[in-house]
Amino acid sequence: MKYQLSGFFKKRTKKEYGSLLFFLGIFFLPSTLFLSIIFLLPAAILGSFSNNKNFFKDKWNYPFLIFGIFISLSAFFQNYFLTNNYSDIWDPSLSFIGLCNWLPFIYFFWSFQTYINSPATRRLLALILVAGTFPIVITGFGQYFFDWTGPFKTLNGLIIWYQKPIENPGGLSGLFSNQNYAGSWLNLVWPFCLAFFLEKRKNFFKKMVSLGFFLSVGFAAFLTFSRNAWLGLIITFPMMIEKKGLKIFLTLFFLCFLVLVLILSPIFSGEFQNTLRNILPQKILLEFADDGYVGLDSTRIEIFLSALNLIQLSPIFGTGAASFPAIYFAETNFWKGHSHNILLELAISFGIPATLILFLSVGSIMILSGHLIFLENKNNTSIIEKAYWASLFFFLVSQLADIQYFDGRISLLAWILLASLKNIIEENNKKEIIN
């Protein structure tokens, strides 16, 4: 028995051990970041040794490395050289803490690539992501329909989950802090659920399981009552389906749009409109009607303008991470945790140059991979690869109107998806060289 166990361990390479740890970490990622990191950190270290490319020999790492240097310099200058005009309300050391939202992920972006460097491993990653999201769906439904609030404990109290009671208006949040974060995660995973459902397969049981995940994740995203989540369900759908399905989708979209016009437009006010409004759930109506915005302290436009004014104060190095909420509160007496736009938030935190470098780097990967997946190799591209692009595309777009990136689970997944798309580009380049 001892000899068999010894042989079992000896047969495995560093990459195989790292791959096992990586996929375990991904499985636990949506449920608990703490347990996930326990697996992902050693996986990243092992990935560093098994990666075919040295960090400094991979040209894709250069812009992210420069970005990391810029934001580190910004934090250093904000603490030791620049005048802090808001010392009474903001601590510049928060900029060093803010680096944790970016620097580790540059390393993860490179080190995890070795585990997702083929269509087969990316398909496995997608499967594990969907499976790992199951606890989010179950706890979310329990919270929404049965008032589950916890706390739920495991590992002798090492991990404890809390769920907020849903207030009116409010939506499903599950194991996330609020419904917008839950909606963002479900939006990231939903294209993979759709992809597995659309795959051609003869096994009836697998087809029903994929249908169950597709419907439950989509329904959970709907129950978050997050407009971002709803928009994600709508936008990613046509990216994934064929022309025949697109016609059906456009028809349903037009009917839904028509219903909203009939319900909200003053042109159709009267008994018919009131009847339709009584049919539609009040929570849905509040997301679109003027009544849902009564008492709103600040509009998105006002927040964006305030953010732009703040960027002008220090456009090169920024005013510092987490400075926006403190300054905005001091000026308006309204608390906003961030500027609701990831580019504005990054420019406030670390300056315009760093923001442009990251924007151009991520944008290049999205454009090149999108061209390969949907245009150049569209007939040979699996629907799973399309799901990778659709998932990350909407996430990036959604961060222009709200920010869920600062949840560690969501940001980690976003960087892993970006690494997957980078691998798709690299694989295509290798094929062209061979041919």
The secondary structure element, H or E, covering residue 74 is: helix 61-80
Look at residue 5 in the predicted model and tell me its pLDDT: 47
Checking if the pLDDT of 202 tops 90, the result is no
Residue 160, strand partner residues? 153
The secondary structure element, H or E, covering residue 398 is: helix 383-398
pLDDT digits (tens, 9 = 90+) for 210-240: 999 999 999 999 999 888 898 888 888 888 8
Closest alpha carbon to 306 in 320, 327, 322: 327
Q: What share of the chain is helix, strand, coil (3-state, %, to 5)?
A: 70, 0, 25
Residue 165 pLDDT class (50, 70, 90 cuts)? confident
Look at residue 249 in the predicted model and tell me its pLDDT: 66
- Secondary structure (3-state) at 316: coil
Look at residue 86 in the predicted model and tell me its pLDDT: 87
Q: For the chain, what are the domain ranges?
A: 18-50, 55-434
Checking if the pLDDT of 279 tops 70, the result is no
Per DSSP, 113 falls in state G
Please state, in angstroms and as integers, the Cα–Cα distance from residue 160 to each residue in 31, 37, 46, 246, 391, following that order. Answer: 10, 16, 29, 43, 29
The CA radius of gyration of the chain, in Å to the nearest whole number, is: 23
Q: Assess contact for 163 and 174: CB atoms under 8 A.
A: yes
pLDDT digits (tens, 9 = 90+) for 349-365: 999 999 999 999 999 99
CA atoms of 310 and 323, how far apart (whole Å): 10
Look at residue 255 in the predicted model and tell me its pLDDT: 75
Cis peptide upstream of residue 151 (ω within 30 degrees of 0):
yes
pLDDT digits (tens, 9 = 90+) for 310-330: 999 999 999 999 999 999 999
Residue 290 pLDDT class (50, 70, 90 cuts)? low
Look at residue 19 in the predicted model and tell me its pLDDT: 96
Least confident of 124-138, 144-158, 171-185: 144-158
pLDDT digits (tens, 9 = 90+) for 13-68: 888 999 999 999 999 999 999 999 999 999 999 999 988 788 998 999 999 999 99
Look at residue 435 in the predicted model and tell me its pLDDT: 57
pLDDT digits (tens, 9 = 90+) for 364-388: 999 999 999 988 887 778 899 999 9
The residue behind tokens 């008032």 is 147
CA atoms of 112 and 5, how far apart (whole Å): 28
Which ranges in 133-173 belong to alpha helices (H)? 134-146
What pTM, to 2 d.p., does this model score?
0.90
